[in-house]
Amino acid sequence: MSTTIAPDPQVTAVPFSRLLRVELRKLVDTRAGFWLLVAIGAITVAVIGVFLFVADPDQLTYLNFVGATATPQSILLPVLGILAVTAEWSQRTGLVTFTLEPSRIRVAVAKLVAVTLVGLLSVVVALGVAALSNVAGAAFLDGAGTWNVGAANVRDFFALQLIGLVQGFAFGMLLMNTAAAIVLYYVLPIAWNVLFSMVGALDNVAPWLDLNTAMAPAFEQQTFQATDWAHIAVSGTIWVLLPLAFGLLRLLRREVKSA
């Protein structure tokens, strides 16, 4: 005769806010995560400093300063997304994490929200550093000092960085190995982009299948147009949403070991 054990009403689920705080703390608990965040800030400031003293005075505008911050952040922020997932396996903390919170989906969502918040903060800091640099350039280097940035420019800057961040997170969840995820994240899209660049017959389909090509108008035209968003939606599904979905499926099925 089987018996059913009723759940203890005094036992409640871990609040999502607590999971989020834990995942935010994990981003700086390890040396890799801490120094990556330091590197993002230091390299962003360094690039701005170089641009401030190398560019011609008429190029010292807010839009160009914002563009200068885009490169280091677009390179390093995705690594933060990768580390947020792979640290559970490389640091052997997965057994503790998934014992304290058995719902792996809740943990994954908390990780994604945590890296997104840090990514948003990084972009806000970059915009602030660019603003201060623009003021300094106009005051001390006779720079143009124009504030030629609209809401669309800011929106697209956020979109570029967050798409790369979530893509890194997706690759990390799919592979669950830091080195493999980092290598694949950088090598595979570049190789794919080179293929479309070399084969002229693929020019028309490149924005639909290659995420780098789809996001290129943000650098060429400064803002995305309606057709550009359609390209990003399709190519983003291929390069971001599908890896994220398969990564989540693998997370739900993978055995967690302590060693």
pLDDT at 137 over 90: yes
| Per-residue model confidence (pLDDT) at position 153 | 87
Stated as kind and residue range, the H or E segment containing 154 is helix 151-175
Mean pLDDT along residues 39-49: 91
- Read off the pLDDT band of 11 (50, 70, 90): low
Closest CA to 86 of 184, 181, 185: 181
* Maximal C-alpha separation, the chain: 87
**Of the ranges 28-32, 57-61, 250-254, which one carries the lowest mean pLDDT score?**
28-32
**Sign of the alpha-carbon torsion through 72, 112, 16, 24:** negative
The total domain count for the chain is: 1
User: What are 244-256's pLDDT values in tens digits?
Assistant: 999 999 999 888 7
Secondary structure class of 213 (helix, strand, coil): helix
Which residue range(s) make up the domain with 130?
A: 16-253
Q: How far apart are CA 150 and CA 221, in angstroms?
A: 13
Position 28 pLDDT exceeds 90? no
Query: Is 211 inside a domain boundary?
Result: yes
* Mean pLDDT confidence for 1-24: 75
Residue 1 maps to a domain: no
Dist CA 226 CA 233 (whole Å): 11
pLDDT on residue 10: 59
Cα 6 to Cα 9, 11, 91, 149, distances in angstroms: 9, 11, 36, 59
Is residue 31 situated within a structural domain? yes
Residue 150 falls within a domain, yes or no?
yes
Q: What value does the mean pLDDT take over residues 66-94?
A: 87
The predicted pLDDT at position 222 comes to: 66
Cβ-Cβ contacts under 8 Å for 154 (sequence gap 6 or more): 127
Q: Band of the pLDDT at 9, cuts 50, 70, 90?
A: low
Confidence check: pLDDT of 44 > 70: yes
- Whether 208 is covered by a domain: the verdict is yes
Of 130 and 218, which is predicted with more confidence? 130
Flag whether 259 is in a domain: no
pLDDT at 192 over 90: no
Is the pLDDT at 107 greater than 60, yes or no? yes
Is 236 inside a domain boundary? yes
- At 6, is the pLDDT very low, low, confident or very high (cuts 50, 70, 90)? low
